[in-house]
Amino acid sequence: MRYPIFISILLLITTLACNQNKPIEVSSGQIEVIQLQSEYVDDRRVDVWLPEGYSEREKHAVVYMHDGQMLFDSTTTWNGQEWKVDEVLQKLINEKKIRPTIVVGVYNNGDKRFIEYFPEKAIPNLPDSIENQWARGKGREAMADEYLSFLVNELKPEIERRYAVHTGPANTFIGGSSMGGLISLYALCEYPEVFGGAFCMSTHWIGMMEDNRMVPRAINAYVQNNLPDPASHKIYFDHGTATLDANYPPHQDMIDSTFKAGEYTDEQYMSLEFEGHPHNEQAWSSRLHRPFKFLLGE
């Protein structure tokens, strides 16, 4: 499958050289690895993080996170960085700032990352020139709907079978960064009965390496028609102001306006800007406690 150069560059930045065979080491809690076969997407590795003292006697909330190979161990990632999910989450649990929680890190699939993470039902809102580049055939090269079917219909039941977790949307969340932010928003809109909240960090509204208005407008048009009920959902956005994140503020402002028009208040909606933060795992790790507290706070 061929992609325009800007998509290929983005894929290269986010997926190269992740060592999926090396055991993951964490500072807190433990990792269990699941290899899942799927009817919807290519077979997928999933890393499940369990906090210290995890017990089957206590139900836990669940956070599903994309780009799972980048979450826990910098010695296995392409850029030597990690989200430090285990350290951040364990500290919050120990301080009783959030409820007991497990994290399900879903690995991306290399050169299919873009087509699995781009909101599929936003594609018809794109100008023909862009739609034709990204989604020739529409149903086959766009795979976000299949990816979400995998998460909801295959992965989620397997997690609930294996672990002591709450199953309702009030304790089921989804999150990621960059393209992972886009698919997290899309998951919340497509499956509001499954996910009670989402966090979207450095959301890649522009969909390419160059700033543009076409892609953000297409996504916003989709969101306007698919807002989850604010009475039962929460969503967190943030972005920096350096490197790729420097392109995001005006597009984030547009999305903020859409959610505010949909009667989301400060209790259900948070959107933050971090001056000088670049587009990388170190930046996301430094502020990861904020969405966790917002969505999972006791």
| CA–CA dist 212, 6 (Å, integer) | 13
pLDDT the model gives residue 208:
85
Per-residue pLDDT tens over the stretch 96-141 = 999 999 999 999 998 899 999 999 999 999 987 665 555 544 445 7
Average pLDDT, the chain: 90
pLDDT the model gives residue 6:
40
C-alpha closest to that of 165 among 243, 64, 56 = 56
Angle between helices 179-190 and 214-224 (to 10 degrees): 20
Q: How many CB atoms lie within 10 A of CB 109?
A: 17
C-alpha closest to that of 104 among 74, 53, 71, 63 = 63
Going by pLDDT thresholds of 50, 70 and 90, the confidence category of residue 162 is: very high
| CA–CA dist 296, 102 (Å, integer) | 11
pLDDT the model gives residue 18:
47
| Torsion angles phi and psi, residue 222, rounded to 5 | -65, -45
Query: Tell me, what CATH number does 259's domain have?
Result: 3.40.50.1820
Per-residue pLDDT tens over the stretch 44-63 = 999 999 999 999 999 999 99
* Ordered strands of the 197-201 beta sheet: 30-36, 44-50, 101-106, 61-65, 172-177, 197-201, 234-240, 269-274
Range of the domain at 193: 5-17+24-296
pLDDT above 60 (res 266): yes
pLDDT above 90 (res 186): yes
Tell me the average pLDDT across 159-165: 98
Please list, residue by residue across 190-209, b when 16 or more beta carbons sit within 10 angstroms of its beta carbon and e when fewer do: bbbebbbbbbbbbbbbbbbb
pLDDT the model gives residue 249:
98
Pick 18 or 186 by higher pLDDT.
Answer: 186
Q: How many domains is the chain partitioned into structurally? A: 1
CB 88 within 8 A of CB 289: yes
Pick 91 or 137 by higher pLDDT.
Answer: 91
pLDDT the model gives residue 8:
38
pLDDT the model gives residue 128:
77
